[in-house]
Amino acid sequence: MYIIGENIQILSPRIKAAIAEHDATYIRQLARAQVEHGASMLDVNIGPRKKDGTEVMPWLIEEIYDEVGPVPLSLDTTNAAAIEAGLKKCRELGIEAMINSTSADPDRLNVTMPMAAEYGCKIIALAMDKNIPATADGRVALAMEVIIPKAEELGIPMDRIYLDPLVLTVNGCQEHGPETLNAIRSFKMLWDPPPMTTVGLSNISNSVPHEMRSLINRTYLVMLMAAGLDSAIADPLDEAQNEVIRIIEQRDDRTGVGRAYLALYDAVANMEEFTPDHVDMSDPDQVAIYKTVRILENKVIYAHGYLTS
Amino acid sequence: MPGTVEIPKEKWTGAIRQVTLGATADQGGSRARTVTVGGETTLPFLFFEGAIPNPPVIALEVQDSYPADWSPVLLQAWGDALRDPATWARKAEELGADLIMLRLRGVNSNGQLTTTAQATATVRAVLQATGLPVIVRGPGQAERDNELLVAVAEAAAGERLALGLCEDKNYRTIVAAALAHGHLVIASSPIDVNLAKQLNILISDMRMPLDRVLMDPTTGALGYGLEYTYSVMERLRIAALTGDSMTQQPMICFVGEESWRQKESRAASGVPAQWGDLEKRSVTWEIVTATTLLESGADIVVLRHPKTVGVIRNTIRKLMAQ
């Protein structure tokens, strides 16, 4: 699993303050920590940053480069000029860059997709236009009719396009969970060679109490991996999540929890139902996995107390 | 060419809990009869997929002081009965209500706060005036709800009142009082499936048996969010029927309260002529809202206008005819 570290992001008050005060100490710490915890790429999310994005983005890239060297970077802003300034800086420093992001909305597609062609970089394409389609089919249609044709027209190879079907929180947008999963499956089946896929994983547990987020994130990640997910913007510092990725990739069935996650992976990959028979229901950890799958499949309504009811 | 068509049928695995309101003398209360709601094993009125052992029921709203802010249509229809909760409740029973929903405003007509002694006296008077099971709602402000409902719960111990509203910010005191004195509670959430389920979990965690919990999904009147209420109720009901234990509560909808506060139910002048006669329009508003919510899975509709009762009674009878 190709993990794009999500921790340098403007919604964090400490990151916001670091940028405002032009003090990169904390950002450099986070960059190092994420790389040490196995992140393959780092997301650099500066928000819209309309005024000074063209200065902030190259500055952050330099600071991060100075700390961790030429680790690939995902340039995450809606400010196209800031992205382009970042792409230039990455080229200058020999850093592999990714644009985060474009979408099927022509206002974004016609600006950022040509940049990906010009700079020969990777690009995340959100399967939405002005709105997020309610179904997997709606997302797939935008990829088929708008995003991929545009990439082909510009000669961008499929392995540089990262389709993102959009993950929304299980607490309020629960019906999207299976749709996002099915969209990943379709993205990987519809083209040969297939495009790459990614998601903003932690969104699945937005507005969920902190102590429950990791379980939901890592369980959904297993399901997404089984559907064909290539990469995720996620928290590389989440050790439990890293362990689950290892279990799946090495097919480590030595523990009960490991066997449960592998059974989940196989069930989703084979499009079979994940049932209580797949887990040891006398093990509370496996029961928690089972209950989490049920809410992620939108079969049981999410509530903060779903694990105890 | 003749052929046979198999109508596809949903196989539901869950059931709504049966909840009984009121207790007779030999059950520790003083009601002439009890009312049981819930028990459905199918979506509303789809008898070919399951059973509906208890028809939906009608509650009429009674208040502890004269509701001067109500629509003149309601004030006229009820007349002086509105000046005395006991008389009002007796008339509601005569009109064919299954339940009395007593709303404690917590202030008298002079705007003074009522004491707990006054509130319990009102509840006692209503219990004496009618043999129907009674629902008691507080003023809707946490501190006052707790103060009044705790006193009411104690004064009416054993009557199996339904006490409300329990909300996520304020439920512990009401649930504890209901637990201690043999009552039911109403769990209310703001048109949100996740919060509705969570509140049932929280109430259940206090060891309140779930056959003593009604669920209020919050009612939007016709033209004012009715479709959101519909969606939430449908979602909760489907979850319940597919076996989600914490969504299997019967649902109560405060139809009258929502319907009668809308402009269409109040405005006699300054509205387009085609809106027509105020009385006909406002009663129709309540009827349409109630009917829609019955079709959405309401087990109890709380109404205000006497005419609505007859129409909804007839509607329920027809919908229940198999």
Q: Which site among B194, B198, B248 would you substitute to test the A interface, given the most A Cβ atoms closer than 10 Å to its Cβ?
A: B194
Q: Which domains does chain A have, with CATH numbers?
A: 2-236 (3.20.20.20)
CB within 8 Å: A303 and B242: no
Pick A301's closest partner by Cβ from B194, B202, B205: B194
Torsion angle, CA of B157/B159/B165/B170, rounded to 10 degrees?
20
Pick B198's closest partner by Cβ from A172, A300, A304: A304
Whether B267 shows a pLDDT value over 90: the answer reads no
Whether B111 shows a pLDDT value over 90: the answer reads no
A215: pLDDT confidence band, cut at 50, 70 and 90? very high
pLDDT at B110: 83
Task: Give the type of residue at A257.
Answer: V
Does B197 lie at the interface with A, CB-CB under 8 angstroms?
yes
Whether B266 shows a pLDDT value over 90: the answer reads no
| Mean pLDDT for the stretch of residues A184-212 | 97
User: How far apart, in whole angstroms, are the C-alpha atoms of residue B147 and residue B180?
Assistant: 15
**% of chain B residues with pLDDT over 70:** 100
For residue B161, which of B124, B196, B190 has the smallest C-alpha distance?
A: B124
Q: Where are the alpha helices (DSSP H) in B96-167?
A: 116-129, 142-155
| Mean pLDDT for the stretch of residues B149-163 | 98
Cα three-residue angle B310-B283-B65, rounded to 5 degrees: 90
User: How far apart, in whole angstroms, are the C-alpha atoms of residue A106 and residue A167?
Assistant: 21
Whether B253 shows a pLDDT value over 80: the answer reads yes
The yes/no answer to whether this complex scores an ipTM above 0.85 is no
Domain range list for chain B: 19-320
Average pLDDT, chain A: 97
**% of chain A residues with pLDDT over 70:** 100
Task: Answer whether the bond into residue B165 is a cis peptide, omega within 30°.
Answer: yes
pLDDT digit string (tens) for A103-135?
999 999 999 999 999 999 999 999 999 999 999
Does B109 lie at the interface with A, CB-CB under 8 angstroms?
no
Give bridge partners of residue A234 from the DSSP assignment. Answer: A5
Nearest CA in chain B to A308: B201
Whether B213 shows a pLDDT value over 90: the answer reads yes
Pick B202's closest partner by Cβ from A174, A300, A305: A305
Question: What are the respective helix, strand and coil percentages of chain A, to the nearest 5?
Answer: 55, 15, 35
Residues contacting A42, CB < 8 A, separation 6+: A4, A5, A8, A31, A34, A35, A64, A68, A71, A72, A73, A74
Reported as type and span, the H/E element at residue B233 is helix B226-241
Residues contacting B204, CB < 8 A, separation 6+: A309, B210, B213, B246
Counting beta carbons within 10 angstroms of the beta carbon of residue B185, is it exposed (0 to 12), middle (13 to 18) or buried (19 or more)? buried
pLDDT digit string (tens) for B47-66?
999 999 999 999 999 999 99
Instruction: Give chain A as a DSSP string.
Output: -EEEE--SBTTSHHHHHHHHTT--HHHHHHHHHHHHTT-SEEEEE--S-TTTHHHHHHHHHHHHHHHH-S--EEEE-S-HHHHHHHHHHHHHHT--EEEEEEESSHHHHHHHHHHHHHHT-EEEEES-SSS--SSHHHHHHHIIIIIHHHHHHTT--GGGEEEE-----TTT-TTHHHHHHHHHHHHHHHSSSPPEEEEEGGGGGTTS-HHHHHHHHHHHHHHHHHHT--EEEE-TT-HHHHHHHHHHHHT--SSHHHHHHHHHHHHHHTT----GGGS-TTSHHHHHHHHHHHHHTTSS---TTTTT-
Pick B198's closest partner by Cβ from A174, A299, A305: A305
pLDDT at B7: 84
Residues from chain B contacting residue A305 (CB–CB below 8 Å): 198, 201-202, 205, 246
Residues from chain A contacting residue B195 (CB–CB below 8 Å): 303
A242: pLDDT confidence band, cut at 50, 70 and 90? very high
Nearest CA in chain B to A299: B239
**% of chain A residues with pLDDT over 90:** 99
User: How far apart, in whole angstroms, are the C-alpha atoms of residue B304 and residue A296?
Assistant: 42
B20: pLDDT confidence band, cut at 50, 70 and 90? very high
pLDDT digit string (tens) for A16-55?
999 999 999 999 999 999 999 999 999 999 999 999 999 9
Helix (H, G, I), strand (E, B) or coil at B299: strand
The DSSP call for residue A143 is I
pLDDT at A62: 97
Interface of A with B (CB under 8 A): 171-172, 174, 299-306, 308-309
CB within 8 Å: A300 and B244: yes
Does B195 lie at the interface with A, CB-CB under 8 angstroms?
yes
CB within 8 Å: A308 and B205: yes
Class of domain B19-320: alpha beta
pLDDT at B221: 86
Nearest CA in chain B to A175: B235
User: How far apart, in whole angstroms, are the C-alpha atoms of residue B200 and residue B216?
Assistant: 11
Joined tokens for residue B36: 């049981």
pLDDT at B173: 98
pLDDT at A102: 97
pLDDT at B2: 80
